[in-house]
Amino acid sequence: EADIYQTPRYLVIGTGKKITLECSQTMGHDKMYWYQQDPGMELHLIHYSYGVNSTEKGDLSSESTVSRIRTEHFPLTLESARPSHTSQYLCASSEVRGNTIYFGEGSWLTVV
């Protein structure tokens, strides 16, 4: 079982602010993911990484950016938040040859 930690869990910020959602995992998983989930809707992949210095865009276009400087850390950044960015963001990870993706508890972002 993977341990994935997301901070902050809940955040309310004003339009135009820059925010970074942190995600860390302690299992040494090479693959990491960010999913976005609007209330009552399905999850959509917005970013993923196969390892250090690897980042790819997901299936859903997002104005956010990610970085992967360390294996255990996969932060997501919004340079200028807008109300349309209000959503839940879920971080996940898996082994390179693994077939199961493990999720963190999510970060709820509200932009006012």
Sign of the CA dihedral with 36 first, then 101, 107, and 51 last: negative
Nearer of residues 14 and 42 to other proteins, judged by Cβ: 42
Contact call for residue 98 and other proteins (CB under 8 A): yes
Cα-based torsion angle of the residue sequence 79, 23, 8, 62 in order, rounded to the nearest 10 degrees: 40
Q: Which residue has the tokens 């090479």?
A: 30
Stretch 27-56 residues interacting with other proteins (CB under 8 A): 31, 33, 40-45, 48, 50
Among 66, 85, 104, 111, binds other proteins (CB under 8 A): 104
Nearer of residues 20 and 37 to other proteins, judged by Cβ: 37
Contact call for residue 11 and other proteins (CB under 8 A): no
Segment lying near other proteins (by CB under 8 A), choices 18-26, 69-77, 78-86, 95-103: 95-103
Cβ 90 to other proteins, closest distance in Å?
6
Residues that bind other proteins (CB under 8 A): 4, 6, 31, 33, 40-45, 48, 50, 58-59, 90, 92, 94, 97-106, 108
